[in-house]
Amino acid sequence: MLVVRRVKNTLLRCFQCNAMTTCIAVAFIITIGMVLVSKPEFMDEAIDGFVPFSRMDLTTKRDGPFYPSCVNTQDYLLDPSYTKQNASFIMLTRNEELEDVIKTINSIEEHFNQWFHYPYVFLNDVPFEKQFKATVKAAIVGADVEFGTISEVSWNFPSNVKETFEFHNAIEDQGDRGVLYGNMESYHKMCRFYSGLFYKHPLMQKFEWYWRLEPDVEFFCDITYDPFWEMHQNGKKYGFSIIIPELYWTVPNLFRYTKSFIRHQGVKLGSLWKLFTKDYHIFESDDAELQDWINNGADSKAKVSEKIAIKQLLKKGNEAQKINDDKEGIMNLINKARSKKHIVEDKFFGEEYNLCHFWSNFEIARLNVFDNEIYNSFFQYLEESGGFWKERWGDAPVHSIGLSLTLDLDDVHYFRDIGYRHSTIQHCPRNAVESDVFSYVTEDPRFKRKNTAYDEGRNYGCGCRCICPKYKREIEDSSGFCINIWINLLNEERGHERQDEVLDGNEMERLVREDYLKEFGN
């Protein structure tokens, strides 16, 4: 198992406390705070013996970077075995975001697409202006560009919902409660569209793969191979670059509806499910009450001991003297009478959503991981629940949980070698030791580089010609809780992924009874 640093421990303690929601909020604030705090690079070294994830080799037998360093792109493209995939970039944007759109295009073109020339699809809820289209086309050289308008049905909530008092009241209430973006109707629309409708747009239906982009995105490393081809070759279906916890109050009932869908549809879950859930089935026993009472391993022995002590006390029947002498049994009986059963408010059928999710503004995936019977039914079930407006369900947790209904861990790839920033969150890998073994060769004069000083290559690095911001905290370290679960699951034996050890309650009860009788007798 990997060593878990302070942030992860803080989060875990929060998951075990009674005030679950408060703890998650606090933990996420800590995560975001650490992302925003400027820190010199040397402070990412080991602290109190804990080595940050960003300084570790996270490669497992089941997943790791497709290449440990740069590849010779020119030779790669000429390899007879290489086949360009039926894939496209997709960006949902608006006319007024043109400056940020061009910023993203310039970055992805310089670091990847000037060599591979994959097409772009731009979508908007209103028609794109002529100037927008002309400027975008001028910024993209050697790749096709298509502009599409989202239909009213796909973009807006149904009229029988949108025109109700309940709809507007729910949106305003979320703003009053400080739910991030909760009072922005357009944000709810965007989340709903990306959750279950983007892949049905006619322009997207022509492709098998997509790479999602956003306005105002930066790439920090060169991507010298074709991610679509490598995913195809390695049997991967979905790729991410960042995994973080969600804000609790955006999705308080998402998991409840998910569990209801699974139960009604009889869905057979993929092993990816374990990445996003806390499993409380950790104590197998013939005693149903005891099994339900114990939610974590630390409580198990104490509760079993309590049961044995009380059981032995009650066996004494009406023998008053023996009962009075059994102080151990009496104290356990009193403690049980005073204790309250620990209730996990968000536990449904023995499981709870741990709030981890793939940050979906970066995705490289097959369209059919969403465009299939189970995921489409799942989205429709969520749509009918009203959660996209009653709450502020983001497409990231919906995608993540929805994918885990059908995918296994081995279907997913962590693009650790792709440096990426959007908004205030970023991931930037360490350069491989020999990351500059192949010199940068531009195919577009706009992206010529002069005297570029790339980051120094480091042990366990996997980036290619990366230039990482020096004073930004790496998301692998500031949000280590989720990445730790990912790595731990991948290190488990295939088909036996589980975060918590299942305790044999019957065997534990037998051993505790033997010890009790040795010490206190019959």
> Active-site residues: which are they?
363
Q: List all residues 6 or more positions away from 19 whose beta carbon is below 8 Å from its beta carbon.
A: none
**Helix (H) or strand (E) run with residue 44 in it:** none
String of DSSP letters for 410-449: GGEEE-TT--EEETTEEE-PPBPTTTTSS----SSGGG--
Angle between the N-to-C axes of helices 6-16 and 20-36, in degrees from 0 to 180, rounded to the nearest 10: 160
CA-based R_g, the chain, Å: 27
Q: 122 and 152 in contact (C-beta within 8 Å)?
A: no
Q: Please give the span between the terminal C-alpha atoms of the chain, in angstroms, as a whole number.
A: 43
- Which residues in 208-251 belong to E strands, given as ranges? 209-213, 217-219, 238-240, 243-245
The C-alpha angle 91, 93, 94, rounded to 5 degrees, equals 155
- Report the candidate in 355, 338, 334 with the shortest Cα–Cα distance to residue 346: 355
Distance CA 359, CA 214 (A): 12
Neighbours of 6 (CB within 10 A): 14
- Report the candidate in 278, 242, 250 with the shortest Cα–Cα distance to residue 354: 278
Distance CA 326, CA 313 (A): 7
Kindly state the tokens that stand for 199: 């892949």
Q: Is 370 helix (H, G, I), strand (E, B) or coil?
A: coil
Distance CA 371, CA 67 (A): 30
Distance CA 512, CA 334 (A): 20
Phi, psi torsion values for 277, nearest 5 degrees: -130, 150
Kindly state the tokens that stand for 141: 């050289």
Q: Is 454 helix (H, G, I), strand (E, B) or coil?
A: coil
